[in-house]
Structure 1
């Protein structure tokens, strides 16, 4: 087993920690917008809509654009997987222990 007691002393630790924090914030904020849209408008916000909306947000701008875009693409992929799982559940509930829920949103 690797000793990780000194990883905070790594020269890139602070930068990686900062980027992880920004990534989490961007994902969660985008997730919040998707959830609100679904709950109150019965509509899902897609990647391009989120990207346009969040491109002026500070966490988005604090990271390289490609990184911010990839985070929002992951969120969009997760949303699509949720929708696909719901469709499969409607067709054959025996493939699931319970109905897919909006845990990721």
Structure 2
């Protein structure tokens, strides 16, 4: 989305999507503070990839796929999220 529009638009749309999950009764049952924090963190990393490779969609896709393959499995805790944020890697919960 950063490549197609810009980072500010991508941030606004990503935030609206994540916040919207809390407004959907079916999805809200699955949401936690930790899962939302993880989503915002992964979205930020995605925007950074788009900015790093602005104008080169192939490089954006390549880096995103590589980052997904190397993503970190972490426990669903605030401390684990904080530690993962310092590594600037995509994460998912164990």
The TM-score, its normalising length taken from structure 1, stands at: 0.35
More strand by share: 2
TM-score where L is the length of structure 2: 0.38
